[in-house]
Amino acid sequence: MPVAARIFSKVKRVANEQIAGSFLGGISAKKISGNYILMYHGVTTTGSTRFNSRHASIPCFRKQIAFLKKYCAVISLQDFFEEKFVTGKANFAITFDDGYLNNFTNAKPILEEFNCPATFFITGLNQINDNILWADYVNIASTLANADIEIEGELFRKTGNTYYSVSSEKSLYHIIKHQKPDYGFKQKVKEAFAKHVRFQDNPAVKEYWQLMSDSQITETARSPLIKIGSHGYYHNNLGTLSNQMATSELTLSKKYLEALTQYDIQELAYPDGSYTPQLVQSARQSGFTIQLAADHFLFNEAPDNPDIKKRYGIYSIDSCLNQLFTAISAPR
C-alpha cells in the first residue's frame, strides 16, 4: 500500500476507534442488536500477527470485555443455549479455543476483574505428551524455517510464510486439513521441520503456542466464571474422520477433562469447526448438549437447531473495538 494510503487507512481506523470509543457515550452501542457467541484463541502481550491473527493483545482484550460489559450483556454459554437472554441488549457469550497458557495467565484475570463468564475449550494433548497444536507448529515453523522440507517423500517449498507441495502445489496446511488429517501424519510434519528449525525454547515465541498444564486446567475449572469444555483430544478435524473414530476421540476427551474438573463436560467446540451432522447427533448422545461450530455452519442446519450454534471469531486484523464489530458484521 502506498504511504499516503497507509496513513489514510490508519487515520480512518483511529477515527473509527474514537467513534467507537465515544459511544462509549452509547449511541453506536445501541445499534448492536442480536445475540452472538464470540470465539477467541489467545491473549498475548503484543497481539503480534507474525505467525497468525489468532491472538488479541492484553490491552485490546481488556477494552473489548470492558465494552461488552458496559453496553451489552455477557452471559454464560449454558444460558445462551437455554435462551436466557437479557432483554433490550445485545447478548454475548465468550469462548476460547485451544487451551493456551495465555488464557490462564492473561485472559482469566481480565474475565474475573469484569465478572465475565466464559468457556475455555481444551484438547487432550497433555495426555499424550505432545505440547503444541499442529496448526501452531505449522504456522510458527513455516515462518521461521527457510529450507525445503520432505514429508513421506514429498517435497515442500516455502513461498511467503507458507509451505507448498512442489508436486501438487497444495499448501501443507491444506493437505493436513483435507487430505491427511490423522495424528500420525502431523507428527511426521513436526519431525520434518525439526531438522531445520527449533523454536520451543525461544521465550519470545512461547506465548503463541504454550498450552495450559493439567493443574492449570483444574485451577481454571474451580473459577465460578469459567467452564471447561472439550476441543477434541488430538485437535483433529473431526468431520474428516469416520464417525466412530471421531466419537471415540470425543469420549476420550470427555473422560480426561472430567477427571481434571470433577464435573460433567457438556460443552464441545469442534476443532477448526469441522463436524458432520451425524457427529452432532453422536456427540449429543455422548452427553455434549452444547456444541459449537467455528465461524460458520458447514451444513444447512435450521437456524434453530438446538444442538449446535455458530460462533463469531475475533481476529487481530483491525483496531480493538473494530475487531468486535468486524466479527459480528461479517457475512456468514
Stretch that binds Zn ion, among 45-53, 149-157, 238-246, 269-277 (CB under 5 A): 269-277
Q: Which of residues 51-90 bind Zn ion (CB under 5 A)?
A: none
Q: How far is the CB of 206 from Zn ion (least distance, A)?
A: 18
CB of residue 276 to Zn ion, shortest distance in Å: 17
**Interaction between residue 271 and Zn ion (CB under 5 A):** yes
Smallest separation (angstroms) from Zn ion to the CB of 125: 11
Residue 97 Cβ vs Zn ion, minimum distance, rounded to whole Å: 4
Asked if 106 contacts 58 with a C-beta cutoff of 8 angstroms, the reply is yes
Count of residues that interact with Zn ion, criterion CB under 5 A: 3
Residue with smaller CB distance to Zn ion, 67 or 137: 137
Tell me whether residue 97 or residue 130 sits nearer to Zn ion (CB atom).
97
Q: CB of 133: closest distance to Zn ion in angstroms?
A: 7
User: In terms of C-beta distances under 8 Å and separation of at least 24 residues, what long-range contacts does 168-173 make, across chains too?
Assistant: 172/138, 172/142, 173/135, 173/138
| CA distances (Å), origin 223, targets 116, 212, 261 | 11, 15, 11
Residue 313 lies near Zn ion (rule: CB under 5 A)? no
Compute the distance between CA of residue 270 and CA of residue 171 in angstroms, rounded to an integer. Answer: 22
Nearer to Zn ion, 98 or 207 (CB): 98
- Under rule CB under 5 A, residue 232 binds Zn ion: no
Give the nearer residue to Zn ion in terms of CB position, either 44 or 91. 44
* Closer Cβ to Zn ion, 97 or 249, answer by number: 97
CB nearer to Zn ion: pick between 72 and 249: 249
Distance CA 114, CA 80 (A): 19
Cell numbers standing for residue 68: 461488552
Closest approach of Zn ion to the CB of residue 205, in Å: 18
85-124 binders of Zn ion (CB under 5 A): 97-98
Residues making contact with Zn ion (CB under 5 A): 97-98, 271
